[in-house]
Chains A and B, each alone.
Chain A
Amino acid sequence: EDQVTQSPEALRLQEGESSSLNCSYTVSGLRGLFWYRQDPGKGPEFLFTLYSAGEEKEKERLKATLTKKESFLHITAPKPEDSATYLCAVQAGNAGNMLTFGGGTRLMVKP
């Protein structure tokens, strides 16, 4: 059974204080690992898809990396507007577009 575990559950940072969010996974034949951002009351907003170990992708202050067992979302010099829940999900090779999600990391950035 595919499993995704995100840590920490919640993270409080001061503005400008860089940190990383972790996503550990077990999956039968990884087809893709997805990162989403979700604001309260809204649907998940797509950030990145990673496909193979060693791959990295960046977008503004965010950088996602992938190994064979985990992915990291690095946040450099965060701003208060980066406050949100960050979700990690895996897509298995034999499961169409079904995503298995982790529980998310709730990020709060204080000015």
Chain B
Amino acid sequence: KAGVTQTPRYLIKTRGQQVTLSCSPISGHRSVSWYQQTPGQGLQFLFEYFSETQRNKGNFPGRFSGRQFSNSRSEMNVSTLELGDSALYLCASSLSPGSGGNTIYFGEGSWLTVV
């Protein structure tokens, strides 16, 4: 079956702009999480959504936001982009939050470059 699908794969934005990234989870998965990966900070948790509700949020400024739709697809938005937002943004999906034996799968990511 299809894996986690993220779009777009690559994008370049200018400082001050905003960007929206999309994630389609594995069919049947209802929990979606977002991570930011940079060479300096590694993989850092942004937020998690389940049943269209944000369940957990990482330590990122309010410029980072997300939402989940009724079909479990998710989007994240970054407003007023800064150079430091350049990163690989990864989406992960799983059946439900925190249940035992719950494998978490990642997509290929969206590469964001801010110039």
Taking Cβ atoms with an 8 Å cutoff, the residues of A that contact B are: 31-32, 34, 36, 41-46, 49, 51, 87, 89, 91, 93, 95-104
Contact count A vs B, C-beta below 8 Å: 71
The answer to whether A46 and B103 have CB atoms under 8 Å apart is yes
Q: Which residues of A contact B35 (CB under 8 A)?
A: 99
The answer to whether B45 and A96 have CB atoms under 8 Å apart is no
A-B contact pairs, 26 of them (CB 8 A): A34-B104, A36-B106, A43-B4, A43-B6, A43-B90, A43-B107, A43-B108, A46-B105, A87-B43, A91-B98, A91-B104, A95-B56, A95-B98, A96-B56, A96-B97, A96-B98, A97-B31, A97-B56, A97-B98, A97-B102, A98-B45, A98-B56, A99-B33, A99-B45, A100-B45, A101-B42
- Residue from A97, A102, A103, A104 within 8 A of B104 (CB atoms): A97
Interface size on B (CB < 8 Å)?
30
How far, in angstroms, from A43 to B44 measured CA to CA in the complex? Answer: 14
Q: Which residues of B contact A43 (CB under 8 A)?
A: 4, 6, 90, 106-109
How far, in angstroms, from A44 to B107 measured CA to CA in the complex? Answer: 8
The answer to whether B42 and A98 have CB atoms under 8 Å apart is no
